[in-house]
Structure 1
Amino acid sequence: MMFCIEIPSIHQDIDGCRLNLTIGGVRAYNEQNLYSRKAPEKFRIFIGFKNMVCCNLCVSTDGYKASLRVMDPDALLSSASDLFRSYDMERHLTQMAAFKECRMSESQFAQFLGKCRLYQYLPSSRKKQLPELLMTDTQVGLVAKSYLDDPDFGRDDANTISLWKVFNLLTGANKSSYIDNFLDRAENATALISGLCMALYGDPEYSWFLS
């Protein structure tokens, strides 16, 4: 079960896309033993932005709590309030706005997709040496297709693409995820694109995806 509450009075425009502040959470019943004695219940909660062009969710690390275990509604409200207070909205918006200033050539984008597919088959020991990638092989295929077909976030006439658009291709593909993985992958997409942006300027941490 997932819930989202938009706060449209707080919004920002990035590259022609209106982003509305959104809060929400997930309760995945598959992670709960419904037949056991009363135990802490697990939730995932977030605060971030919804892109109103495509309804993609933009979630940052400081706006997401992946495992919240509480015994009652008061504890849930208290923990959610703590998360909302600690969320740095301006930093998140600045981070996303910077994505549109970073661009990939088509060959770099193809290299990135190829490395994303290769990542799925790396041994665990090698994956531990690299930044985490949660996107599935099927979702990589959706990103490739949307690069060619998406009228809002696909390639431009010069066969280049901004990382803001790549970010939205990733979050768009993420909509195929089950709810128990959805928020983890949304947050991972933000970290991945932020890392790629730095890699384009020479930072080594995410350079494997472009080399």
Structure 2
Amino acid sequence: GRTPEAIHKNVKELLDEDKTIYYERMMFCFEIPSICEDIRGNRLNLTIGGVRAYNHENLYSKKGMEKFKIFIGFKNMVCCNLCVSTDGYQSELKCMDVRGLFNSAVALFQDYNMAKHLYEMGGLQESYMTEHQFAQFLGKSRLYGFLPKAEQKKLPQMLMTDTQIGMIARAYYNDESFSVPQGSKEINMWNVYNLLTGANKSSYIDNFLDRSLNATQLAEGLNKALYGDCEYSWFIK
């Protein structure tokens, strides 16, 4: 990096005092353990935080709106997986000063329906996916990225990478907390959700929150597909 005064200098002209060090991506995250819930023996603590990623900015242009990602959701204390819902996440918060950032964050926190989020996550523990359906989901997820664009646009978004899909497959048998029970041909949808959020921990910081939300959408969509809903049915048929 470089100081503002040196922004127009050529690299070879930079003096030591012109040079700076900056972190391209940073995430802040802290818990409010006094607000918690238990789902299937997993303690969930209310958590808030956000991301600042300079790779989304043009650092050489005139200063404009600053961009942040902020969220409010729950952290599963069994595995530190992050659970983010649609109304608890703002993917691009634009502001010019700290006051604007504060006001936008407070507005997000006020709009977040914590009870609804917990209810939807709790509902996942009542559903089960067969081994065949889970295998279909993994296979279709690998095919998703290679579909013709016109076909892909007809389907719900799936942001997991091939590497992460492989991690989910491995965790299906080997995860200490959320693997399929030995000898069983079914896996609980709460466990499936945590396999998704667990694989997401390999994401870069600037993609982490988007994929956290997508993991929630996938789990909820697949759960509805088990009961006949069509939106996510492609993934398990």
What CA deviation, in whole Å up to 9, does each residue of 1:72-111 have, x standing for no partner? 0100000000000000000000000011111011111101
The one-letter code sitting in structure 1 at the alignment partner of 2:85 is S
Equivalent of 1:81 in 87, 106, 120? 106
Task: Give the fraction of aligned pairs with identical amino acids, expressed as a percent.
Answer: 63
Matched, 1:69 2:94: yes
Q: Which has the higher contact order (CA 8 A, sep 6+)?
A: 1
Aligned-partner Cα distance in 2 for 1:27–1:151 = 32
Distance in 2, matches of 1:202 and 1:120, equals 25
Question: Does residue 167 of structure 1 match 2:154?
Answer: no
Larger radius of gyration: 2
Q: 2:159 — aligned with what?
A: 134
Residue 195 in 1 paired to residue 224 in 2?
no
Distance across 1 between alignment mates of 2:139 and 2:166: 10
Query: 2:147 and 2:98 mapped to 1: Cα distance?
Result: 42
Corresponding residue for residue 99 of structure 1: 124
What's 1:205 paired with?
231
Q: Which runs of 5 or more structure 2 residues have no equivalent in the other structure? A: 1-25
Between the aligned partners of 2:113 and 2:66, the Cα distance in structure 1 is: 27
Q: Counterparts in 2 of 1:21-170, with a 5 A limit?
A: 21-157=46-182, 158-170=184-196
Q: Can you list the C-alpha shifts for 1:183-208, whole angstroms capped at 9, x where unaligned?
A: 00000111111011110000111100
Secondary structure, in 3 states, of the residue corresponding to 1:131? Answer: coil
CA-to-partner distance for each residue in 1:116-156, whole Å, 9 max, x for gaps? 11101111111110000011111000000000101200001
Matched AA of 2:208: F
> Is 1:17–2:42 an aligned residue pair?
yes
Determine helix, strand or coil for the equivalent of 2:126: coil
Q: Secondary structure at the match of 1:100?
A: helix
SS, match of residue 20 in structure 1? strand
* TM-score relative to the length of structure 2: 0.88
Q: 1:184 aligns with which of 210, 218, 223?
A: 210
SS of 1:155's partner is: coil
CA distance in structure 1 between the aligned counterparts of 2:78 and 2:185, rounded to whole angstroms: 22
2: distance between equivalents of 1:107 and 1:166? Answer: 14
Structure 1 CA distance for aligned equivalents of residues 95 and 139 of structure 2: 41
- What are the ranges of 5 or more consecutive residues in structure 1 without an aligned counterpart? none
* Aligned mates of 2:65, 2:30 — CA distance in 1: 24
Task: Count the aligned residue pairs.
Answer: 211
